[in-house]
Every structure is written in structure tokens, then in C-alpha cells.
Chains A and B, each alone.
Chain A
């Protein structure tokens, strides 16, 4: 009975988000079933779209896995989008400047992406521990610097042969593209990287000394300092690991999706990573399924304006409303139990 109730409780936000979606679809005079089908079929309906969805899943998972680390350390790493972009820029640099066989290029671009994201996150980390600048503002600021840097490179030093255009650089040489098989537009490499990252983060946070200490740092910055753990080092390590994973996502965005550097190559996947980790209640084990749902909606929703008179932004609305309702429902539940507890103590006292 209790289990049924908790199931019902966790389904309420889902129902609420669906209701909002249905309402909006009816508002523009379309059929909700047709819209749902368009999203599902658009997301996983054929091999090439399924490939796109899986590619999106890898970058979303990587960004969210990185955030699982920083959130465990109590850090609001809102600069994750900038770290994705920094990774994309670093990977683009390698892809443009180094000529080597594909396997070497894959390793080098991924390493560069990790390094780029880690350095960008380290900047936010240093600003926090050395300059006392809150990571939210430091991270946001650095994100815009990264966007601006990508745009500058595209119009300036890395501009296309003959024309300076904001649409992107020239495509990378073929050796720097993540290898794919046949019609499937997803690289096995990116899936392996994402799965490995998810597994590593899960084990790291649950089963290691490092994870435990990170949690201690996150739960109470003050008391863990009393226990003699060097807070600063753990915070910076969390930033660099989290940023590195975001940077891997950036590397995959440019070598496995765009095949060139575009302005703001993160495409909002870092920001979506924040929504995913919020929905996952900061737990690494929930990232994979939620990221898959987000990826299906992201890729599938692009079919909405093609098949029906519905704007693709509906997908984003459903995602955000779902997260909002889950947060609010959690708050209401805590509030109810707090009120219940207070009543109980009052009765005892009376």
C-alpha cells in the first residue's frame, strides 16, 4: 500500500507534465496522440534518427555524469555549458592541427576535449577557492567567455577559406571524424566513452574513499575541514573531473556530430545536463535512462514542425515542466511531513 502510494506520488509530476503538453497541443489545434507518435517515431523510428538520439544521449550523459561529481561536492557547476564548449574548442584545435590515422586522432581529440573542459572548470574552481567568487557567477561568466571564444576563432584565425562566416569552420579532415558504421549515425566510440564515464562515476561516488570524502566536503564544508580533509584540493579535483567529462561531451559534439567547430558548440547540452541531474536527484544511476528520455524528446521534437503544426520547443517545455513539477512535488512532500511531525510533537507536549 505504501509502495503504491509512493509510486503514485512519483507519477504525479509526470502526469502534470503530460497534462501541460496536451493542453499546449490542443491550444494549437493538433492531436496529442499524433504529437506523441511524432516524437517517439522521430526519436527512435528509423536507424538514422536512432543514431542521432544515441549521439545526443552520449553527450547528455557525459555532461550529467560530470555534474554528478560536482554536485556531490556541493558545487553548483552551472558553468558546465562553458566546459562543454571549451572541450569542443580544444578537440577542434587537435582535429585541425594534427594529421594522424583515425585511431590516434580519436584518442587525441578526446584527450584534448577532457583537458579543455577540465581547465575551464579549474578556472571556475580557482575563482571559488582563491577568489571567493561563487561558482554560479564564475561559471556563467566563463560560459559566455567560451561562447565568445568559439565565435572569435570561427570568424578570426580559423575562418573558412575565403569567407568569414559565423556558420562554422571548414569541416575537419576525415581522419578526425569519430568513425561510424554504415547508415548508423552514431559512433561506437562515443557510446563506449559515455558508458565508461557513467560506470566510473557511479563506482567513484559510491565505492571509493575519494567519493566518500567528496560527499563529506559537499555535505558540510565546515565540518570536513575540521576532520582534516583538504577541502580545496577536493573541490578543485571535483571541478576538474566534472569539467573533464563535460569536455569529453564537447569533443564528441564536434568530432561526432558537427564535424566542425560552430559558434556555441555545446548546443545547450550542458544546461540540459543540469536538468537531468536535478531529475535524477543527483544520483548517477538514474542518469542513463533520463538522458535517453531527454535525447528522444530532443531529436523527436524536431519532427513536430515537419509533420504537424507544432513548434519543436514543445519538447523543451515538457522536459522543463517535468523537472519543475518533480522539484515542487519534493518540496510539498517534505513540507507535509514536516507539518505532520510538528503536529505530532505538539500533541505529545499537550
Chain B
């Protein structure tokens, strides 16, 4: 019970990150800088909160940093026709080193953190109250982000356009959708969620800053976006699954030494497995026969992901 409770709290940054990257990738842009961007925003969030003594400014600064990084990826793809993977990869390296350099004087110092905020009445519900409503604002916001992103992408007109620019930009353009302007917008939006993920890590989960504080969290998020089939709720489920693996690793550490290092890498084989299954012929045959299954199983990446769209 306590493990489940802390697992849900610990997963919040990852949830923000996977929702953010899902939105960006839905728009057809792959932000490979995630690992670095998340790390830099975690550092920024902590440093700004520490200097200004304002959590809100910390979160804002973190969101700003990561959305600028995402915008740079979008700009080099849309305006300069550069390879998104190349630019994203370089930015990954750059942001990791920047976080070390600029965060040097904030290593292992106590600083501000997000306080607990149990929701009155709701927290008294047996079991669920403790699991869901006895957290801080960051955790509640992560719940909200998942639901809001799902509703927006699959239940609104704008969400339909978002899917359109990532799946078939030519068709979206023909319908009068400003493809590239929206791609900038969703890159920035997804990026700012990644920034919030970083800040919530250093301000609410693993407090403070240390060398490569969020190490591998960004890569994990990238894997989970795929595992989640570019769908926010499934991606969030993946994030909780990963947090569960970490908890399991801690519990099993004593009887099975070495497991703590191995279990956290499970999302990567899972990601590969997901991709293999998604593209396999038998799944295609299965969904051809039972179209209803397609909504549950089929999770191909947005068709135009990583490509440049040029309106004529």
C-alpha cells in the first residue's frame, strides 16, 4: 500500500515527460534531445526555485528551457530542413553537459520542495483516497495532464488536426490546417511538459540537484512513448509500470543482488518488442479480421514522424 502510494508519486515526472513527448511526436516531430532536455530543466527548476524562493518561477523557467530546446528541433527541421534526429542528438549531449556546468554550484544543497496537499474529504475514501488524493499538487497535475491530453487528442477538433499534421500533413494542409505553425506550437507545448517533468523531479521526487540527476529518465520516457503506442493513457500506464519495476528492484535487492541494476532497463526490450509486434504481419492479419482490435492493439507511429513538410 505504502509502496503503491510512493510509486504513484515517484512516477509523476515520467508521466509528464511521456505525455509531452507523445504530443510532440503526434505532431510529426521527434524530439530526441529528451534525455538532455529533461536533465537541464530539472537543474533549471531547482536552481531558479532556490535563487528566487519561488516554486512557480522554478517550474516556469524549467518549462521555458525545455520548450526552447524543442522549438530549436522544430525550427531546424521546418525552416532549415535538417535531420531531426541529428539535431536532437546533438542537443541531448549539449544539454547534459550544460546541466553539469551550470548546475555545478547547486550540487547537494538543500532547497525548496513541493509540499504535500491531501485533498479534504476525498483522501478519506478507503484505499483510493490514500492512493490518489494524498499527494502534492505535482502528482494531481500529472493525473490531469494525462486525461486532458487524451481528451484533447482524441475528442476535440484541434486534436484531430494535431493527428492530421503528424499522419498526413498534405491532407491536413489541403483542409486549410497550418501544418508547420501547429508543429511549432505542439513542439513547444510538448517541450514545456518535459520541462515540468524535469522540475517536478528535482522539486518533488528526488529533491535537489546532483551530477546527471535525472540520468536515463529521458531515454526511458522515449521508450515508454513507443511502448504506449503514442497514446497518453497507455504511455502513463507504461510510466507507472516502470515506477513499479523500480520499486520491485528495491524490494528484491536484498535477496537478489544485481537485480536493481537490471530491472530498470526492462522498458528498452519492451519497447523493441512492442515495435516488433506492431509491425508484424500476423498482427496486421488479426486486425484485418477483427477491426475492433485495432483500437486496442494497433499503435503505429505517426506516419509523417521525423519528416519535413513543405507547403507548395
Q: Interface on A for B, CB 8 Å cutoff?
A: 24, 76, 78, 127, 131-134, 136-138, 140-142, 144-145, 147-148, 151-152, 155-156, 164, 166, 263, 271, 274-275, 278, 311, 313-314, 316-317, 319-321, 323-324, 327-328, 330-332, 334-335
A263 to B101, CA, bound (A): 24
B91 adjacent to chain A (CB < 8 Å) = yes
Interface residue total, chain B, C-beta cutoff 8 A: 38
Q: Contacts of A320 on B, CB cut-off 8 Å?
A: 90-91, 93-94, 97
Docked complex: B126-178 residues within 8 A CB-CB of A: none
Q: Are A278 and B279 in contact (CB under 8 A)?
A: no
B4 adjacent to chain A (CB < 8 Å) = no
Q: Are B276 and A133 in contact (CB under 8 A)?
A: yes
Q: Are B223 and A141 in contact (CB under 8 A)?
A: yes
Q: Contacts of B91 on A, CB cut-off 8 Å?
A: 320, 324
Q: Are B265 and A145 in contact (CB under 8 A)?
A: yes
Q: Are A311 and B104 in contact (CB under 8 A)?
A: yes
Q: Contacts of B76 on A, CB cut-off 8 Å?
A: 327-328, 331
A317 to B100, CA, bound (A): 10
Closest to A322 in B: B90
**A to B CB contacts below 8 Å, 8 in the list:** A76-B85, A131-B279, A133-B272, A137-B223, A155-B257, A263-B261, A314-B101, A320-B91
B86 adjacent to chain A (CB < 8 Å) = yes
Docked complex: B27-86 residues within 8 A CB-CB of A: 32, 76, 79-82, 85-86
| Cβ distance A130 to chain B, nearest Cβ, rounded Å | 9
Q: Contacts of B269 on A, CB cut-off 8 Å?
A: 141, 145
Known contacts A131-B276, A131-B279; is-contact A140 B86 (Cβ 8 Å): no
A56 to B262, CA, bound (A): 29
Please give me the 4 A-B residue pairs with the lowest Cβ-Cβ distance, nearest first: A331-B80, A316-B97, A320-B94, A141-B268
A334 to B258, CA, bound (A): 51
B194 adjacent to chain A (CB < 8 Å) = no
Q: Are B93 and A275 in contact (CB under 8 A)?
A: yes
Known contacts A156-B258, A313-B100; is-contact A78 B279 (Cβ 8 Å): no
Q: Interface on B for A, CB 8 Å cutoff?
A: 32, 76, 79-82, 85-87, 89-91, 93-94, 96-98, 100-101, 104, 216, 219, 222-223, 226, 257-258, 261-262, 265, 268-269, 271-272, 275-276, 279-280
Contact of B219 among A144, A145, A151, A152 (CB under 8 A): A144
| Cβ distance B115 to chain A, nearest Cβ, rounded Å | 32
Known contacts A131-B279, A138-B275; is-contact A145 B268 (Cβ 8 Å): yes
Q: Contacts of A151 on B, CB cut-off 8 Å?
A: 258, 261-262
A sample of 7 more A-B contacts (CB under 8 A), given A134-B275, A140-B219, A278-B90, is A278-B86, A313-B97, A321-B94, A327-B82, A328-B82, A332-B80, A334-B81
Contact of B276 among A127, A313, A321, A331 (CB under 8 A): A127
Q: Contacts of B32 on A, CB cut-off 8 Å?
A: 136
Known contacts A133-B279, A314-B101; is-contact A327 B86 (Cβ 8 Å): yes
| Cβ distance B54 to chain A, nearest Cβ, rounded Å | 23
Q: Are A164 and B261 in contact (CB under 8 A)?
A: no
Q: Are A155 and B279 in contact (CB under 8 A)?
A: no
Known contacts A134-B275, A145-B269, A334-B80; is-contact A316 B93 (Cβ 8 Å): yes
Q: Contacts of A137 on B, CB cut-off 8 Å?
A: 223, 226, 271-272, 275
A179 to B289, CA, bound (A): 64
| Cβ distance A121 to chain B, nearest Cβ, rounded Å | 14
Q: Are A331 and B81 in contact (CB under 8 A)?
A: yes
A75 to B100, CA, bound (A): 31
| Cβ distance B286 to chain A, nearest Cβ, rounded Å | 16
Q: Are A317 and B265 in contact (CB under 8 A)?
A: no
| Cβ distance B252 to chain A, nearest Cβ, rounded Å | 13
Q: Are B276 and A148 in contact (CB under 8 A)?
A: no
Q: Contacts of B275 on A, CB cut-off 8 Å?
A: 127, 131-134, 137-138
